[in-house]
Structure 1
């Protein structure tokens, strides 16, 4: 099997409060380890990244609703 590509989307900025990249939702350590991970390790990380992305979306929606109420 070919190596899974990096989830990087070229928005490389670590969020200071979460420690996650704003683009791919990986931690600095996960970014550094990605090249040495095998496909099973990479596959196990992908659902975690999707969950982090979903959490950010839910928080953003909540904040927008608060702003719209004011």
Structure 2
């Protein structure tokens, strides 16, 4: 099982992909959950060396981690 600390250490692109997978959401659904444009999410998912890549704000990373914690607590054992 992956802990919150393990997830926090992931590069942003991997964290976002893991989150979408665990939540069973498409990019459009996940962007809506984060209240951001799909284009913003797409830029966060680009490789860090891409000229169009953008860093996710620390607050955004914290929010993604919290969403994953809430989902984990709500999931039946």
Q: Same fold (TM over 0.5)?
A: no
Higher helix share: 2
TM-score (norm 1): 0.43
- Compute the TM-score of the two structures, normalised by the length of structure 2: 0.40
By relative contact order (CA 8 Å, sep 6+), the higher-ranking structure is 2
